[in-house]
Structure formats: C-alpha cells, structure tokens
Amino acid sequence: MHEIFIEADGIRHPVLTGEGLLAKTGEMLAMLGLLSPVMVVTNSTVGPLYARAVIDAVRSAGFECSKIEIPDGEKFKSIKTAELLYDRFLEEGLNRSGTVVALGGGVVTDIAGFCAATYMRGVPLVLMPTTLLSQVDAAIGGKTAVNHPDAKNIIGCFYFSELVICDHGTLGTLSPEERRCGLSEIIKAACISSPDLLSMLENSNLEDAGGPENMDQIILQAVSIKADFVRRDPYEKTGVRALLNFGHTIGHALEKAFDYDGLKHGEAVALGMLAAAKISVSSNHLAPEFPARLEKLLKRSGLPTEIPDVNMDDVISAMSHDKKKSGKLKFVYLSGPGQALLSDAPPADVIIKALEEMRSKQ
C-alpha cells in the first residue's frame, strides 16, 4: 500500500493506493476518527460487485452502515438524483457527524461528493474510486459536480475528502474500453509533467487485455502528478491546474461535434492530445519528433489516433462556444516531453490543419 497526500488549505488529505484495500475500509474510517452512520453510495453496476465487501468491513469495525444505490450512467449525475440522495440521507438519519462513502467511478464520486458537500453544509466524505479514470483523475482534487441538462459539471463545488482509497483490485472487472479511457488521462499526465512516466508507459505491456503488469506503479505515478498540480493550485486560480486540460479543448469540441455519442471522453482526449501536440510543433513550441512518439503510445494503448468522419466546422464552432463561456480561449501546448505551457489559443486554420492531418483515411 502507498500513501500520497492531496494538500489544500494547509491540510493533507491522504490517498491510499494498492490491492485489497476494500476489506480494510472499516479500520481506515476508525483510524481517521470518522463516525456512524456511514452511507455507502454506489451504483447498480458497482454495488453488486463491491458493496458487500465494503459494508462488511465497515460493520465489523463497529459502524452502522446503509447502502444507497443510484442507477448507472452519466445522465443520472443530475440534481434529480442528488435530491434522491438527500432524501435517503434524511431517512437514514445522517447528520454532520456521520460519513458518506462514495464507491464507484467518476459519476458516483462526483455526485456523492457534491451531496456530501452540500447536505447540512458538509458531511465527512471518503472516496473509493473503482475505475482507472476516477482513481487517477476524478477522485483526486476536490472537485464535485452534477450536470445541468445544458452543461456538464456546471453545478458543483470544491470539497476535499477525508480519504481516497484506490483499490486496484476493483479494476479487474473494468471493460477494456473504460481501461483505455483511464490510460488516456494517464498519458496526459505524463505528457504535461513527467518524462519518467512517459518512458515507463512506453516500456509497459499496454497491449495486454488485463492491463500492464506494472499498473500499480503507473497509477501511483499518475496520482502523484495530479496531487502535485492540485497542491500548487487547489482551487484552480493560478492557471497551474489548467495545464491538466491538455488535449481537452479539442477533445471536448470533438465530443460535442459527435453529440456525446460514439466517442468516449478518453478517446476524444487522445485525439485532442495528438492534435495539440501537432499544433505545438506548428506553433514552434515543440520539436517535430514528439507527435509520432505520442501517436505510437496512444495506438499501443488501444486509443484512436484518426478522426472519424466529422464536419470540421462543427468542431471549430464547439470550440468558439467554449470561448464565449470563458472569455479569451487559452490552449495548453507542449514544450517538450513532460513539459506544458498555457497560452492564447491558435488561430482556427492551424487547428483545422492539424485535425485534417488526422482525418481517417478509410
């Protein structure tokens, strides 16, 4: 087991990574001085797989514990589901001295985190992320959210959990598609800040269906990188955390151009990263060899490197919609392997040229 800390407001919030941690949930809650009643919030996919182990562990450490299951899917990350959670919290007698435990992927950690942050102005929270993406990204950094029908993640707040428990054992049941999406965010972390993680990924058996054998090391590195960005800019105010958006400006625009259908977030980010690397070369920030190196790594991870049929104008207009929302559009460029910088977005023709180069040849 490894321990990393997320630091905000001078408080260190531990993240534990390793195998077999679910069975230790009860002792960990007790060690942190957390109290009953414990609400285990999970979903209809993860609950049947892992809630029993968590609830048994929590009860055998002497806590009262209830399970709350929400339906599976991004569309349930809504105010409506949040209301159902508040109803159950009230019914189960949750008060400020109780504890919310979120067991699931990023959807569950985001909405359970949001409800824990807002119910009675804040109840202690423990996150138990069960997807690769949530272990290295969504559960690390204190962001909670629900979606508005017109905008993702638009309702939320910063709320740091008392503890994050990343049990790698849970990744064994993850679909290859979800695993790839997690790898995409790990590759992003490597690209913007760690030549070491980049080499580690290049030397790992990423093609293996069960994931590379050094996954533990890879997760540990990725969590440490995210935790470091969060420590330097916990509330996303200085622009440091904005570097984590590498590949996301174009990635989000692609997701939107595909109507959030047919292209998963991690796949869109993979395409966005490759385009951003090409743009970094044409904007004279990056040596020309790097995009081919990134392309090879993405391909080996099973991630796309060619853009399926899409109207480029839709992609550009999705990006300018973002610009309307946030004023001047910034863009994350690479300046070397493991180095990134934030600057003004490139002109549309530079973006289109990079995307056209990546258009699917079939």
Rounded Cα distance between 49 and 173, Å, is 9
Among 69, 162, 178, 185, the active-site one is 185
Among 7, 64, 74, 236, the active-site one is 236
Interaxial angle between packed helices 265-282 and 290-300, expressed in degrees from 0 to 180 and rounded to the nearest 10: 170
Contact with ligand NAD (CB under 6 A) among 7, 56, 64, 74: 74
**Residue 149 in tokens:** 């029908």
Rounded Cα distance between 325 and 322, Å, is 5
Among 252, 256, 264, 278, the active-site one is 252
In the region spanning residues 143 to 202, those forming contacts with ligand NAD, defined by CB under 6 A, are: 143, 153, 170, 173-174, 178, 181
3-state secondary structure 88-133: HHHHCCCCCCCEEEEEECHHHHHHHHHHHHHHHHCCCEEEEECCHH
236 is catalytic: yes
DSSP 49: I
CB of 87 to ligand NAD, least distance (A): 22
Under rule CB under 6 A, residue 130 binds ligand NAD: yes
For CA atoms 201, 202, 205, 207, give the dihedral sign.
Answer: positive
Contact with ligand NAD (CB under 6 A) among 137, 167, 255, 295: 137
Contact with ligand NAD (CB under 6 A) among 34, 55, 89, 110: 110
Under rule CB under 6 A, residue 267 binds ligand NAD: no
**Cα-to-chain-centroid distance, residue 52:** 25
CB of 145 to ligand NAD, least distance (A): 6
Residue 31 host element (H or E): helix 25-31
19 is catalytic: no
Beta bridge pairs of residue 332: 342
185 is catalytic: yes
Under rule CB under 6 A, residue 78 binds ligand NAD: no
Contact with ligand NAD (CB under 6 A) among 101, 115, 138, 279: 138
**Cα-to-chain-centroid distance, residue 190:** 14
Q: Tell me if residue 40 falls in helix, strand or coil.
A: strand
Contacts with ligand NAD by CB under 6 A: the residue count is 27
Under rule CB under 6 A, residue 251 binds ligand NAD: no
69 is catalytic: no
Which residues contact ligand NAD by CB under 6 A? 43, 45-46, 49, 72, 74, 77, 104-108, 110, 130-131, 133-134, 137-138, 141, 143, 153, 170, 173-174, 178, 181
Report, as residue numbers or ranges, the catalytic residues.
121, 143, 185, 226, 236, 241, 245, 248, 252, 265
